[in-house]
Amino acid sequence: MGSRDLRRIYAIDPENWTLLEEKEAPGIPWAAVTTNGEVRFTIGEGADDDRYVYRYTAEAGFSKMFACPEFTGSYLSFDGRNLYLSQWYKHRILKFDANGKVIDQIVIGAEICGHTFAEGSLYVLRGQEQPNEDWQIARLNPQDETPEVKDVAVVPFACRSLTFDGELFWSNYRAKDTIISFALPN
């Protein structure tokens, strides 16, 4: 978990929600995802908040991997092989190879405030922040040549970030300063 304001990351024990470790980030930590034993972060640097993808391991700490295209990007997901990065205002998710080269683009059609893989599909929090935090969860198959983005649920709160633990989805309800878990309707 990360704090934009404090520029810190935190390892949390998922069983009892206690702090295991705290580290200073090399900039503003915007998002994180685990990738085969490592963690990837989107980090904002400098006065313009230029965005970069970093690798993090407990042994080596942070190391810069590559700049986000046009220095913009926020949320991350991982399909077991490739890293995906969303660009909120460009309404798209980019797929990267292991060297940080963009190999695909998925047009989402709305602002993106989180995404995660679950049971072979990519789930995306999409909608608009202004004026009233209007968000939905959409599902798509990223393997399709032109993925069809289908809304599957309305999110009734100002959400940020999305993850899946194998059973439940989780998102941050920022106005209430809390984390919410939920299942999607069948």
C-alpha dihedral (157, 107, 35, 167), degrees to nearest 10: 40
Distance from C-alpha of 170 to C-alpha of 69, rounded to nearest angstrom: 27
Structure tokens, 184: 């999607």
Distance from C-alpha of 117 to C-alpha of 137, rounded to nearest angstrom: 12
- The pLDDT of residue 17 is 86
**Burial (Cβ within 10 Å: 0-12, 13-18, ≥19) of residue 172:** buried
Mean per-residue pLDDT over the chain, rounded: 94
Average pLDDT, integer, range 97-112:
95
DSSP three-state, residue 180: strand
CA distances from 71 to 41, 79, 175 (A): 14, 23, 27
Could you tell me which CATH class the domain 1-73 is placed in?
Answer: mainly beta
- The pLDDT of residue 114 is 97
User: Is the distance from CB of 150 to CB of 140 less than 8 angstroms?
Assistant: yes
- The pLDDT of residue 1 is 85
Asked whether residue 124 carries a pLDDT value surpassing 90, the answer given is: yes
Strands 121-128, 92-96: pairing is unpaired
- The pLDDT of residue 175 is 84
Structure tokens, 26: 């090399």
- The pLDDT of residue 185 is 78
